[in-house]
Amino acid sequence: MTRSELKRLQDILECADDLAELVAMGKVEFYGNKFWAMAGARLLENIGEASTHLTGEILESLPGIEWKKIAGMRVLIAHAYHRVDIDFIWTIATTSVPDLSQKIREKFPNLDSQI
C-alpha cells in the first residue's frame, strides 16, 4: 500500500519532532554518545526518503524548501555514511529541520491534529 503525500508530510513532521527532542538534550550530551548521532542520522534519512515521494503540487505549495538537497542528504547518509559526521547531523537537525517543519506546519496546519 502506498502512503499518501499528506502521510509523507506527517512522517517528516514526526521525524522533525523526534529530532527536536533529541537535540533538546544539548550539544554536549548529543556529542557525547555516538548512538544519539546515529539516531539523528536515521531520522534525517527518513525525512529525505519521505521527501522523495512528494509530487509537484505539494512541492510547489512549499516554495523555498530545497527538496533536492533534502533528497541528496538522504542519499549521502544512506550511501556515503562514512562521510557523515556528528557536526553535519547536529547542524541540519538544529537549523534546517526546524525551518522545514515550520514551513510545512504553516502551509498544512491540520497535519498535527492527524499525527
Q: Residue 47 has which C-alpha cell? A: 525525512
Find all residues with CB under 8 Å of 84, minimum gap 6, and list them. Answer: 41, 76, 77
> What are 89-101's pLDDT values in tens digits?
999 999 999 999 9
- For the question of whether the overall pTM of this predicted structure is more than 0.85, the answer is yes
CA atoms within 13 A on the CB side of 16: 23
Tell me if 107 sits within 8 A of 62, measured CB to CB: yes
> What are 39-84's pLDDT values in tens digits?
999 999 999 999 999 998 999 999 999 999 999 999 999 998 888 8
